[in-house]
Amino acid sequence: MSALVLILLFHKALPNPLELAQSILESLQSTLSAGIEGSLFFSSLEDVTFNNDKDLNAFRTTNDDSIDEKLLREELQKIVQTLPFSHSFDYFLCNTTQYYKPRLMAAFDMDSCILGNECIDEMGAEWGVVEKISEITRKAMNGEYDFDQALKERVSLLNGMTSSQLENVWKKIELNRGAVLLIEYLQHLGIKVALISGGFTFFTHRVASRLKIHYAFSNTLELEEEKLTGKVVPPIVNGLGKAKIVEYIAKKEGFPLDQVIAMGDGSNDKFMIQVVGTGVAYHAKAALKQCTPHHINNSPLHALLYLFYIDKSKLDGEKSETPSSLHPSLHTLALDEKYPDAMTLLQLFEV
């Protein structure tokens, strides 16, 4: 039978993390009347290289197969909310079967996930309609507004925006902390990476090419004479579309969905993270957190790597070293690769 794995992610500045970890385990043991083993943890994400046993074995497992995973998760959440410094650490909870299962593919949302920006809000700022667009974005990401309608309304507000103004927006776009380190390690482990966004190809293709991501899918803005028409070229990549794209890529590559991981931040990502074996909510809206037990609320993107059982032999050599710059600017990365156009998407959605 499968046991459970509890992974604790502590901020490097947190005082006495060992005492806090012990407090969490004792509270769980008392509440559930079950033994919980393990004492390994890590206290810093900034210096992670995954080259030593402390990092590679940063987990705690239960020794009681009868413990209900949902019950443990609920009790853990209650305990965490009562603890001091609860804002300074994250945690993952999964069964050992899933933890040790090799991940073959990772799919990511782009805006406010791989990127620190919401590109359409930045476009609104450039065009002078940011308040209107941001409010619609907020409602859409919280699941209060139909995504397709919200996208059409926001894009219509950008009618007349020029290509040169889009370039101005591009200059403001930056990666979230840990994005480069995360993608580099996934690629070194042989994992296929996909960027699947409800945003726009103008940005997704540029981001994906600089990170050397294998697949990139998103919406296409309609332009005429170097100006936006206020319309999106169909089909629209919405929540259900994201899930379908994940399934399409997995089938194309021959990957079982239970060996795929997906991560996003808004309600539009819920179908994508529910269709795969491991779905993660990253600094997410409440609507998405309800759909998965895996939350990264405080840590940078590369905290996701602690959900992987990493074989040390795969990290030998040059690429096992942390990049010289953990968080380089997106605009210092070289452009490479080409990605699907609107026709490819249309053909996909007709499958």
DSSP letter string over 1-37? ---EEEEEEE-TT-S-HHHHHHHHHHHHHHHHT--EE
Phi, psi of 242 (to 5 degrees): -60, -45
- In 3D space, the residue among 261, 100, 116, 232 whose CA is nearest the CA of residue 180 turns out to be 116
Given the residues 109, 121, 265, 269, select the one marked as catalytic. 109
Contact assessment for residue 132 and residue 124, using Cβ atoms and an 8 Å cutoff: yes
Given the residues 111, 121, 148, 265, select the one marked as catalytic. 111
Report the alpha-carbon distance of residue 111 to residue 298 in Å, rounded.
17
Contact assessment for residue 204 and residue 195, using Cβ atoms and an 8 Å cutoff: yes
Report the alpha-carbon distance of residue 94 to residue 271 in Å, rounded.
19
List C-alpha distances in Å: 118 to 110, 123, 124, 139, 140.
9, 9, 10, 14, 12
- The owner of tokens 């293709």 is 205
Question: 3-state secondary structure string, 253-267?
Answer: HCCCHHHEEEEECCH
Neighbours of 44 (CB within 10 A): 14
Query: Distance from first CA to last CA of the chain, Å, rounded?
Result: 39
Q: Is residue 269 flagged as an active site residue?
A: no
**Continuous H helices in 49-178:** 53-56, 69-82, 96-100, 119-127, 130-141, 147-156, 163-170
- In 3D space, the residue among 185, 13, 5 whose CA is nearest the CA of residue 89 turns out to be 13
Give the angle subtended at the CA of 78 by the CAs of 74 and 83, to the nearest 5°: 145
Neighbours of 229 (CB within 10 A): 17
Report the alpha-carbon distance of residue 207 to residue 220 in Å, rounded.
15
Q: Is residue 316 flagged as an active site residue?
A: no
Active site residues: 109, 111
